Structure 1
Amino acid sequence: MNEVSRIVEVGGESPYRIVIGPGALADGASLAGHVRGRHVLLVSDSTVAPLYVATVREALHEARPDLLVGTFVLPAGEASKTLANFGAAIEALATLGATRDACIFALGGGVVGDLAGFAAACWMRGVDCVQLPTTLLSMVDSSVGGKTAVDIAQGKNLVGAFHPPRAVFADTSTLRTLPPRELRAGLAEVIKYGAIRDPLFLEWLEAERQGLLAGDDATLAMAIARSCEHKAEIVERDPLERGERALLNLGHTFGHAIETEQGYGSPHNDNLNHGEAVAVGMVLAARLSATLGLAENADTDRLIALLRSYGLPTSIPAGLAPEALLARMRLDKKNLAGRLRLVLWRGIGRAEVAPDVDENRVLAVLSGY
């Protein structure tokens, strides 16, 4: 641990610790301390693996020379989060000879964390998983809470399982190699926590924009820790997303529809990545809330100003038909009995679940009216 490191404890039936700070990937003793058996599968992607797999492998072997460590590397990008690649990860576990006390280390962003976690949930009906998020987005969102999944053509994350990790190590030094666009995408999810339940945190984000965008370790560690604290509090009370946890999806129903309609394209093209799509989705949710008389337009304007100050998009990309986006939204996992169930707000810090939203009002917002 060092002066900028922070720890967040996640309670509930399956408690675990989130360690946040620089150097976590090289702490072999801490990493190996979560391996109950001898088999480890490092799951990563083609961007992250050349940067950090050797560091993690050497750290593990130094602490536990007896470990049998295998590696499975995905092509980078959302398009890799498929049933086929899930199957390939299972084959890698079989080739390794992984037993029921094996451990999967998910080294990468949200795609790696989701797919590796799903493989851990399914191999021999469940083995341990340690999340090693290397993007800001995965540090504050997908690595925490135990939601694992893959995508299919009809929508994001429609095939998956709840499988809490044994531990999370968020090494902030990995953010120094993160492209600026990916750092901004992660900050969209950080802003979300202020939007749904913490106006003071939102004020802090307005004030600390320069340090966060510059990648300052201490400022990032504080933002990550506060985000994880919020998520941990909610997950402890609602681990299977049967109530309050749905609030964490502010902007996600709209955002997932945009991502799915764009075809999970490469983050290097004009398609929005996940964080960017969530930023647009939060604006659409805020606009819909104002349209329904739940919130003031001033709250929407403040959110838009903050997102734009972080270099994030706030409007639907050109070429996406409102009717097609609405059709995607009908497949969202939060919907009940064929009714749109959306996370809206009554102003900054006051999100709530709206159980039966009029599709015509949603279509009007998607159409820009």
Structure 2
Amino acid sequence: MNTQHELEVALGDRRYPIRIGRGLLDQPGALAALVTGRHALVLTDVNVAPHYLAPVQAALRGKQVQTCVLPPGEQEKTLARFAEVMAVLAGMGASRDTTVLALGGGVVGDLAGFAAACWMRGVRFVQLPTTLLAMVDSAVGGKTAVDLPQGKNLVGAFHQPSAVLADVATLDTLPDRELRAGLAEVVKYGALGDAGFFAWLEDQAEALLAREPAALAEAIARCCAHKAAIVARDETEQGERMLLNLGHTFGHAIETEQGYGGLLHGEAVAVGMVLAARLSAELGRAPWPDAARLAALLERLGLPVALPPGLAPDALLDRMRLDKKAVSGALRLVLWRGIGQAEVVDGVTDEAILAVLDA
């Protein structure tokens, strides 16, 4: 059965659709309708292109289409790669009616979105996510960025896509490790604001790992609906949207300290969520059994729940100080009161954070 879902992100009088289902990339009419001008740039990477670039190119016949195929990996989300994409846009004579299409995972989506935000002060772009992590998180909401050696996503812009097409069939070719990394972001939505969804994930863990289409489509739709509602209320992360960063302050510090070559983003977020839950329990803000329940679900999904060896707590804390939620150098952390009850907390001492990192 081909389960299809259609949602909408509503930002005042601006709206865009999120379509979820199998075979969406094989519908030329639907793809072509998303490119309203003459020019299109398809940004992808060398892992995705052999599988899915051809149908996208075929759907855009009659347009002036350029492709840019990048090496894969978080280490490619740099200002240098951004400059390459801008040079491609300049070389193709891209006008203000250009559409940038992001065909790939979170790295491709973030880089394509940032390029679209900056070319001629902002052109249309479409997210065609091919990883679970991108489908449930980075493709929705308009956060675009590149990394610096000092930290993740420090250079970027808010620039909403015109549409998101999540073709669940692309997950058939996703490596197991990448699927598990995406499931960490799925768990995040239950952990931060939906205890019922968290319980559903506990019940459906094996089905999700087995890539059962109905379970995956349902999980993606529920995550997207949750994020769309939060983004509609807080587009530029002034308040509630910060909750979507549960586990990310710790996780980004881990990724940066490893030089973007160790844990995958979702794996680092899994560790970060466990650290945030343990810190919440140590501070007396949340019950210890909930922290254990979170770690148990993540472990069932094949995700790490402890810091990788060789990372110094002091170095991680220094990385955390560059987190975008920090105010005047003071850390703001997303912690919780228990499953489904995330909150933004100020004033956590360095000593409390270091104690959790040391443990």
State the TM bucket, normalised to the shorter chain: over 0.9
Q: Is the 8 A contact 2:104 2:128 kept in 1?
A: yes
Matches of 2:344 and 2:9, distance apart in 1 = 24
Query: Does residue 274 in structure 1 map to residue 302 in structure 2?
Result: no
Query: Does residue 69 in structure 1 map to residue 60 in structure 2?
Result: no
Hey, what does 1:129 align to over in structure 2?
125
Matches of 2:121 and 2:103, distance apart in 1 = 22
Query: Which digits, 9 at most, give the CA deviation of each residue in 1:8-61, with x for residues without a partner?
Result: 111113311000011111222112212121100000011111111111111222
Q: Is the 8 A contact 2:270 2:305 kept in 1?
A: yes
Matches of 1:55 and 1:256, distance apart in 2 = 34
Query: Does residue 304 in structure 1 map to residue 300 in structure 2?
Result: no
Which letter does structure 1 place at the counterpart of 2:274? V
Hey, what does 1:238 align to over in structure 2?
234
Which letter does structure 1 place at the counterpart of 2:47? T
Q: Is the 8 A contact 1:340 1:359 kept in 2?
A: no
Query: How many residues matched?
Result: 358
Cα displacement (A) at 1:249: 0.2
Q: Is the 8 A contact 1:255 1:277 kept in 2?
A: yes
Hey, what does 2:317 align to over in structure 1?
326
Q: Is the 8 A contact 1:196 1:248 kept in 2?
A: yes
Cα displacement (A) at 1:286: 0.2
Which letter does structure 1 place at the counterpart of 2:325? K
Q: Is the 8 A contact 2:275 2:357 kept in 1?
A: yes
Matches of 2:326 and 2:32, distance apart in 1 = 41
Query: Which digits, 9 at most, give the CA deviation of each residue in 1:168-213, with x for residues without a partner?
Result: 0000000000000100000000000000000110111011111111
Which letter does structure 1 place at the counterpart of 2:285? L
Matches of 1:229 and 1:333, distance apart in 2 = 24
Q: SS in structure 1 opposite 2:222?
A: helix
Query: Does residue 365 in structure 1 map to residue 356 in structure 2?
Result: yes
Of 144-153 and 355-364, the range deviating more from structure 2: 355-364
Q: Is the 8 A contact 1:28 1:59 kept in 2?
A: yes
Q: TM-score, normalised by structure 2?
A: 0.99
Hey, what does 1:159 align to over in structure 2?
155
Which letter does structure 2 place at the counterpart of 1:322? P
Q: SS in structure 2 opposite 1:187?
A: helix
Q: SS in structure 1 opposite 2:127?
A: strand
Q: SS in structure 2 opposite 1:88?
A: helix
The counterpart of 1:341, out of the listed 324, 332, 351, is: 332
Matches of 2:315 and 2:133, distance apart in 1 = 27
Note the residue ranges of structure 1 that are not aligned, 5 or more in a row: 266-270
4+ residue stretches of structure 1 with deviation over 4 A? none
Q: Is the 8 A contact 2:2 2:22 kept in 1?
A: no
Q: SS in structure 1 opposite 2:156?
A: strand
Q: SS in structure 2 opposite 1:326?
A: helix
Q: Is the 8 A contact 1:339 1:357 kept in 2?
A: no
1:52-67 correspondence runs (5 A): 52-61=52-61, 66-67=62-63
Query: Which digits, 9 at most, give the CA deviation of each residue in 1:218-267, with x for residues without a partner?
Result: 110000000000000000000000000000000000000000000011xx
Which letter does structure 1 place at the counterpart of 2:130? T
Identical pairs, percent:
64
Matches of 2:313 and 2:150, distance apart in 1 = 17
Query: Does residue 216 in structure 1 map to residue 215 in structure 2?
Result: no
1:1-369 correspondence runs (5 A): 3-13=2-12, 14-61=14-61, 66-265=62-261, 271-368=262-359
Note the residue ranges of structure 2 that are not aligned, 5 or more in a row: none
Cα displacement (A) at 1:3: 3.9
Cα displacement (A) at 1:341: 0.2
Q: SS in structure 2 opposite 1:44?
A: strand
Which letter does structure 2 place at the counterpart of 1:309? R
Query: Which digits, 9 at most, give the CA deviation of each residue in 1:46-77, with x for residues without a partner?
Result: 1111111111111222xxxx201100011000
Which letter does structure 2 place at the counterpart of 1:319? G
Matches of 2:159 and 2:325, distance apart in 1 = 19
Q: Is the 8 A contact 1:342 1:355 kept in 2?
A: yes
Which letter does structure 1 place at the counterpart of 2:208? L
Cα displacement (A) at 1:356: 2.1
Q: SS in structure 2 opposite 1:15?
A: strand
Which letter does structure 1 place at the counterpart of 2:146? V
